[in-house]
Amino acid sequence: MNTTHPITMSLPSLADIESAARTVYEEFQATPQYRWSLLSERLGTDCWLKHENHNPVGAFKIRGGLTFFEQLAHSGQLPKSVISATRGNHGQSIAWAARKKGVACTIVVPHGNSVEKNAAMRALGAELIEHGDDFQAAREHAIALSGQTGALMVPSFHVDLLRGVSTLWWELFRAVPNMDVAYVPIGLGSGACSAVAAKLALGHPVRLVGVVSTLATTYADSIAAGRVIEAPVSTQIADGLAVRVADASALSVLMQHLDHVVQVSDEEVATAMKAIFEDTHNVAEGAGAAAFAAAMQEREQLKGLTVGAVLSGGNVDAAVFSKVLA
Contact indicator for 45, 305 with CB cutoff of 8 Å: yes
Please list, residue by residue across 222-260, b when 16 or more beta carbons sit within 10 angstroms of its beta carbon and e when fewer do. bbeeeebbebebebebbbbbbbbbbbebbbbbbbebbee
- 153, 180, 207 - which closes a domain: 153
Q: Which residues pair with 307 in a beta bridge?
A: 47, 181
Domain interval for residue 241 = 14-60+159-325
> Domain of 223: which CATH number?
3.40.50.1100
Rounded Cα distance between 49 and 41, Å, is 13
User: Based on the structure, what is the number of domains in the chain?
Assistant: 2
pTM of the model: 0.94
Percentage, residues of the chain above pLDDT 90:
97
In terms of domains, do 258 and 189 share one?
Answer: yes
Percentage, residues of the chain above pLDDT 70:
98
**Strands 47-51, 307-311: parallel, antiparallel or unpaired by DSSP?**
parallel
Q: Is 106 exposed, middle or buried (0-12, 13-18, 19+ CB in 10 A)?
A: buried
In terms of domains, do 89 and 141 share one?
Answer: yes
Identify whether 136 is part of a domain.
Answer: yes
- Mean pLDDT of the region 83-106: 96
In terms of domains, do 55 and 74 share one?
Answer: no
Q: Which residues pair with 82 in a beta bridge?
A: 105, 152
In terms of domains, do 169 and 49 share one?
Answer: yes
pLDDT at residue 125, rounded to an integer: 97
Residue 169, SS3? helix
Rounded Cα distance between 151 and 134, Å, is 22
> What's the farthest any 2 CA atoms get from each other in the chain?
56
- Judge whether residue 24 has pLDDT over 60: yes
In terms of domains, do 40 and 67 share one?
Answer: no
In terms of domains, do 318 and 257 share one?
Answer: yes
- 153, 176, 211 - which closes a domain: 153
In terms of domains, do 262 and 224 share one?
Answer: yes
- Judge whether residue 1 has pLDDT over 60: no
Q: Which residues pair with 5 in a beta bridge?
A: none
In terms of domains, do 241 and 223 share one?
Answer: yes
pLDDT at residue 3, rounded to an integer: 37
In terms of domains, do 191 and 311 share one?
Answer: yes
State in Å, rounded, how far the first CA of the chain is from the last one.
39
In terms of domains, do 222 and 201 share one?
Answer: yes
* Each residue's pLDDT tens digit, 197-225: 999 999 999 999 999 999 999 999 999 99
- 107, 125, 153 - which closes a domain: 153
Contact indicator for 184, 195 with CB cutoff of 8 Å: yes
Identify whether 81 is part of a domain.
Answer: yes
Rounded Cα distance between 69 and 96, Å, is 10
* Each residue's pLDDT tens digit, 184-197: 999 999 999 999 99
Rounded Cα distance between 205 and 208, Å, is 9
Identify whether 7 is part of a domain.
Answer: no
In terms of domains, do 83 and 113 share one?
Answer: yes
Rounded Cα distance between 28 and 24, Å, is 7
- Mean pLDDT of the region 280-297: 98
- Mean pLDDT of the region 92-108: 97
pLDDT at residue 9, rounded to an integer: 76
In terms of domains, do 227 and 143 share one?
Answer: no
Rounded Cα distance between 244 and 236, Å, is 14
Identify whether 2 is part of a domain.
Answer: no
DSSP string covering 253-266 = HHHHH-SEEEEE-H
DSSP string covering 122-136 = HHTTPEEEE-SSSHH
Identify whether 206 is part of a domain.
Answer: yes
* Each residue's pLDDT tens digit, 27-53: 999 999 999 999 999 999 999 999 999
DSSP string covering 193-228 = HHHHHHHHHHT---EEEEEEETTB-HHHHHHHHTS-
Segments in the chain forming alpha helices (H): 14-24, 37-43, 62-74, 89-101, 115-123, 135-149, 159-175, 190-202, 218-225, 248-257, 266-280, 286-297, 318-325
